[in-house]
Amino acid sequence: MRAFFIRRYGGPERLEEGELPPPPLGPRDVRITLHAASINPVDWKIREGKARALLPYRFPLVLGNDGSGVVREVGAEVKAFKPGDAVYTRLGKDRIGAFAEEVVAAEAVVAPKPARLSHVEAASLPLVGLTAWQTLTEVAQLKPGQTVLVHAGAGGVGSAAVQLARHLGAKVVATASAKNAELVRGFGAETVVDYHSQRFEEVVRDVDAVLDGVGMDNVLRSFRCVRPGGIVISIADGPDVKFAREYGVKPLLWPAFWLLGAKPNRAARRHGARYRYWFMRADGEQLRHLTSLVEQGVLRPHVDKVFPFSQTREALAYAESGKARGKVVVQQVP
């Protein structure tokens, strides 16, 4: 199969295009002919080796974490899918590889593609949708009437989080540039703070939860916005010892995670708030729930730009540049 892969960690130059053997099919696996795959920040973090403590991969490694396509073959014990089914998936963290013509995924992380979405639109949704849903419902445990601050409301996770928070009955404050303010209001944000002209911590107060995918400076400033007992959730920087324990990281590495999480945990204690770093998990049942929300018109994907599969390198570079509004998608099958 044709694929984009790396043989060692490093910069953009490490990404190769070539032929690799297709992955083997297990009894509970689904082989999918991919029509589209999306770009996520975790893709270049994996390429650079920044996630190697959490995700110890073997080479050659095909990158790509989520996608949409058509089932080509199923394992002997698969019951939920059959060849010809249109599906989408956030691949399991130990079995990535969506930047390829086909992929093999565990049945448990696959869901029917929303009928109202194209494969390009569907491919853009699994990782960001699951991240937003898990942080809002499991971590923040957001209730109707509460207020959440969503950073980068025009981005992939941000745009999904604004829509899902509104669906959960929360009041949504979001940060975005002035040019994206109306877009983010259209997703459901009641208030949009222009991060170019305002310091968000000077105008946002007493929110119940903050979701940040920007970086550590944003995380630390966000503690000034949250009420006592509220929570700041990071999906970008600051994995700590609590996360390392839950994720199964070897105890030998815990001191490094203590250092990574020291600043936000100190800030949380100082402000009487809570801090949590979250790395989303693949979950086919939750993805089915997102499918139903898409079909109800509650959740819609936000695709910025589509690249042909042959331009996967260019797609990754564009997403990594930070210029995208929403998701960047590569299309394997036109």
CATH code of residue 12: 3.90.180.10
Same domain, 113 and 133: no
Assess contact for 265 and 275: CB atoms under 8 A: yes
The model's pTM:
0.96
Same domain, 117 and 132: no
Query: What pLDDT, on a 0 to 100 scale, did the predictor assign at position 243?
Result: 95
310: DSSP letter = G
Same domain, 105 and 45: yes
Q: What is the pLDDT of residues 66-99, one digit of tens each?
A: 999 999 999 999 999 999 999 999 999 999 999 9
Nearest 10 degrees: Cα torsion 250, 254, 260, 264: 120
Identify whether 285 is part of a domain.
Answer: no
Same domain, 20 and 105: yes
User: Average pLDDT, stretch 241-267?
Assistant: 95
Residue 42 reports pLDDT greater than 90: yes
**Helices vs. strands in the chain: H and E counts, helices first:** 11, 16
Query: What pLDDT, on a 0 to 100 scale, did the predictor assign at position 55?
Result: 85
Query: What pLDDT, on a 0 to 100 scale, did the predictor assign at position 56?
Result: 84
Identify whether 217 is part of a domain.
Answer: yes
Identify whether 155 is part of a domain.
Answer: yes
Which residue segment(s) compose the domain that 85 sits in? 2-124+301-331
Residue 334 reports pLDDT greater than 90: no
Q: What is the pLDDT of residues 140-156, one digit of tens each?
A: 999 999 999 999 999 99
Identify whether 286 is part of a domain.
Answer: no
Query: What pLDDT, on a 0 to 100 scale, did the predictor assign at position 60?
Result: 97
Identify whether 200 is part of a domain.
Answer: yes
Same domain, 119 and 132: no
Same domain, 46 and 86: yes
Same domain, 115 and 190: no
Query: What pLDDT, on a 0 to 100 scale, did the predictor assign at position 206?
Result: 98
Same domain, 207 and 326: no
Same domain, 327 and 263: no
Beta bridge partners of 172: 148
User: Average pLDDT, stretch 178-203?
Assistant: 97
Q: What's the total number of domains in the chain?
A: 2
What CATH number is attached to the domain comprising 226? 3.40.50.720
Q: How far is CA 7 from the centre of its chain?
A: 24
Same domain, 135 and 269: yes
Same domain, 252 and 135: yes
Strand ranges in 1-155 using DSSP code E only, listed in sequence order:
2-6, 16-19, 29-39, 61-62, 66-74, 86-90, 102-106, 110-112, 147-150
191 membership: H or E segment, kind and range: strand 191-194
Same domain, 21 and 6: yes
